[in-house]
Amino acid sequence: MLFRSLLAADLPRRDGVITLHHSRSAAPQAALYGAEISAAVEWFRARLAWKRHLVVAVLDSDDYRRITPIPYPTPHAEGLTALIIIADHVVAHPGFDRWDLDEVAVNAAWSFHEIGHVIARDVGIASGNAWIDELVASTFMAAYVRAEGPQFAGFQGGMPPRFSLTGRASTLAEFDTRYFSIGQWDYLWFHFHFARIADFMARGADVRSLVEGFRREFPAAARRREAIAQTFERLERISPGVTAFAGPIALP
């Protein structure tokens, strides 16, 4: 369990709205992202029946490799323990030099996405389709960024013009089958699509109504993998027009 590995690392810790652990070299980044994540947590708590206490670790590359098997600097969440791990810097991410986005804005947006994963698990939203689970988390991100953090909106603003696939995967069905094994580069290519679709769904929508829609269409108790067309049929009942907005990636 990642949480045990984090505790065993005996890193500096701060308690507050969240419990924040950080690498000794990452104190400035931890202060920055800790403040942004705390603000997002308070926003979600004020609007949802969700009160979970988050643990966040902001890690440098050495501590990342010691604590988690996920490659640096990909963020991730351990839902059972409400632990979110993010990197101190994301410029090392494959493809970053083609995104033309601010590093801090991207990393902050990613942290809001990871909060979304924890909330979705806690409120009973889950799908057998990995792409839906990622879209749901990004919709929480988009809802918060639209309401409170427009400076972080670059990630959900569309595919960076200079960023393209490696050619190893291009369909949602492949993403569902291979998930993170497609590699960090292509994984983020798909996530730019998810963030763009999430932004459409969050546009003018109340976060509570989004939660109700996702919980109705993708209840954790009935978790099952479906054809891509079926997932879009469900999304249409939450956010009409989403299939057309998604464009070619919605095709089987």
Tokens 């050619």 found at: 167
- Residues paired with 56 in a beta bridge: 20, 84
pLDDT in tens, 83-93: 999 999 999 99
Cβ atoms 140, 44 nearer than 8 A: yes
Query: Rounded to whole angstroms, how far apart are CA atoms 36 and 86?
Result: 13
At 66, which amino acid appears?
Answer: R
Give the three-state DSSP class for 76.
strand
Sign of the CA dihedral 243, 245, 251, 252? negative
pLDDT in tens, 148-201: 999 999 999 999 999 999 988 999 999 999 999 999 999 999 999 999 999 999
pLDDT in tens, 28-80: 999 999 999 999 999 999 999 999 999 999 999 999 999 999 999 999 999 99
pTM across the whole model:
0.98
For residue 104, the tally of other CB atoms under 10 A from its CB is 16
How far, CA to CA in Å, does 35 sit from each of 19, 30, 31, 40, 100? 11, 8, 6, 9, 24
Longest pairwise C-alpha distance within the chain:
49
